[in-house]
Amino acid sequence: MTTLSAPKLIPNTDPAIESIREKVLKGQRLTLEDGQVLYRTTDIWSVLELAKIVRDRIHPGVAYYNINRHLNYSNVCALSCKFCEFARKQGEEGEYTRDLDYIKEQGRKAVESGATEFHIVGGLNPYLPFEYYTEMLCELRKVAPNVHLKAFTAVELVHLARIAKVYKRDDTQAGVRWVLQRLKEAGLGSLPGGGAEVFDERVHKEAFKTKIGAHEWLDVHLVAHELGLNTNCTMLYGHVDQIDERLRHMEILRRSQDQALHRLGYEGDPEGYIAEGIQESEQITAPVITLNMDGSKLPTPAMSNRGGYYQTITPLPFFPDGSALEHLPGPAGIENLRTIAVTRLMLDNFPHVKAFWIMQTLPMAQLMLEAGADDIDGTVVWYDITKAVGEGTHQETTELDLKRAIGEAGYQAIERDTLYRRVERDGSSWKVEV
C-alpha cells in the first residue's frame, strides 16, 4: 500500500529573491537590478507574495472601485501610432466626433446613473478648435456639476497647446500651463495617465515616433502638479518593449513622484537608491520618498494647495488586434500578473496600482488584487480605445459585479471618487467623506 505524505510547501526556488524580500520588509527602494530579478525569476509565487505584502500594508483589507463613465469624444487623430486600433482619419469608415449635444446627453445620463467621474480622452483631432474642449467641460459642468472631470492625456494637452497656438518647441511647459489654466477654469479636475507607453527612445522611435516623448509627457504632468491637479500614469507594455525599458520607465515615474511628494512637504531619504544614466530623471533633485510601510501617510486632496501628485499607476497590456503591430502576440496571463506585481514593488511611492478590468478582464483584475493591485476601476459603460471583451464598445459592468469581484477576493469593496475619497451612496445620490 502506498503511503501519501503531506505536500511540501513551495520552497523559494530563487535565492536572489531573499535580498529583495529583506528590502521589501524594510520598505527600501528596489534597484533596477532587483526589478530584473523579479521579472526573470521562475519563482513567480514569491514575486506575487511580496507585492501582496506591500499592497496589504498600504491598503489593509480594502480594494477600490468607482461609478464612472468614459467619454471618447473623437477618434479622428493626426497621428498613426503603430499599437493603436482606435484612431481613424477624417472621412475614413468608422470615424466620429461627438457634438456638444451628444456630450450634454452623456452628462445627463451620468447624473441619472449616479456616476462620480467622467474619464474623457480622444484622438488628436486637427479639425476641432481649442474652444471645443473648454465648451465640452463647461457644458458637462452645467449638466453634471458634481461629476469629476478627469480629462485629456499629456499628448492631447500638447496638441491643444498647438491648436491654441501657444506651443513652443523649446518650452513645452509654458504652452501647457496656459492650456491647463483655461481647462481648469472650465472644470477640469485631474488628468488621466495615458500616452506614457514606455519611456524609451528606441521604443518611441519604433512604435510611436510622432507622438510626444518622455520629456514632454513629464513636463505636462509636472505643470499639472504645480497647478494643484492630481494626475495618473500608465505603462503600455508587451509590444516592442523589453524588460529593461519597462524598468527604466518605472524609475522615471517614481523619481517624478519623488519630486511631486517633495513639493508637498515629504522629506525622504537623500541617500536612497537612484538609478544612474537616465537622462529624463537626472535633473530631479528630490530625495527618495517611499510610501510602502505600515502607517505611511498617503498624500490627500487637501494638500492640493501645495501641488498635485500621481495617484495611480495602471499597467496596460498591449492588444495587437487591429493595430499595425498585429503580428506580435501581446502579453498573456502570467506576464500580466507579474507586471502588476513588479509595478507595485518598484513604484514604492505610488498610492495606488490599478488593474483596469477592461483590458485585463474582470476575473484577471480580481486575481490581481492578490498580486499588488488595490483598484479595479469602475463601471465604464462605453470604451472605444481597446476592445478586450468582445467586439463592441459598450463595455459596462455593474456596481454589483465590481463589489462581488472584490468581495470574492477577500477584500472590503470601497467606492471611491476620482481623488480616492470614500463615497457614501444612496442610489444615484452620493457624497464624499471629507
* Site of interaction with ligand SF4 (CB under 6 A): 77, 79-81, 84, 86-87, 123-124, 155, 211
> In the bound complex, what is the minimum distance in angstroms from residue 121's beta carbon to ligand SF4?
8
Is the CB of 220 or the CB of 362 nearer to ligand SF4?
220
Pairing, β 148-151 against β 117-121: parallel
Instruction: Note whether 224 and 180 are within 8 A (CB).
Output: yes
Report how far residue 291's alpha carbon sits from residue 300's, in angstroms, rounded to the nearest whole number. 13
Instruction: Note whether 317 and 331 are within 8 A (CB).
Output: yes
CB within 8 Å of 163: residues ≥ 6 apart:
126, 128, 129, 130
200-209, Cβ contacts within 8 angstroms, sequence gap of 24 or more: 200/241, 200/245, 200/248, 200/249, 202/245, 203/239, 203/240, 203/241, 203/245, 206/82, 206/240, 207/81, 207/82, 207/83, 207/239, 207/240, 207/241, 207/325, 208/79, 208/81, 208/82, 208/83
Report how far residue 318's alpha carbon sits from residue 332's, in angstroms, rounded to the nearest whole number. 10
The 3-state DSSP class for residue 322 equals: coil
Which set of grid coordinates corresponds to residue 274?
537612484
> In the bound complex, what is the minimum distance in angstroms from residue 178's beta carbon to ligand SF4?
21
Is the CB of 121 or the CB of 376 nearer to ligand SF4?
121
Instruction: Note whether 66 and 416 are within 8 A (CB).
Output: yes
Is the CB of 90 or the CB of 285 nearer to ligand SF4?
90
Is the CB of 299 or the CB of 331 nearer to ligand SF4?
331
> In the bound complex, what is the minimum distance in angstroms from residue 195's beta carbon to ligand SF4?
7
> In the bound complex, what is the minimum distance in angstroms from residue 306's beta carbon to ligand SF4?
32
> In the bound complex, what is the minimum distance in angstroms from residue 16's beta carbon to ligand SF4?
37
> In the bound complex, what is the minimum distance in angstroms from residue 315's beta carbon to ligand SF4?
17
Is the CB of 140 or the CB of 158 nearer to ligand SF4?
158
DSSP calls for 355-370: --HHHH-HHHHHHHTT
Is the CB of 191 or the CB of 289 nearer to ligand SF4?
191
Is the CB of 81 or the CB of 110 nearer to ligand SF4?
81
Instruction: Note whether 428 and 114 are within 8 A (CB).
Output: yes
> In the bound complex, what is the minimum distance in angstroms from residue 357's beta carbon to ligand SF4?
21
Element (H, E) at 223: helix 214-226
Is the CB of 78 or the CB of 227 nearer to ligand SF4?
78
> In the bound complex, what is the minimum distance in angstroms from residue 191's beta carbon to ligand SF4?
15
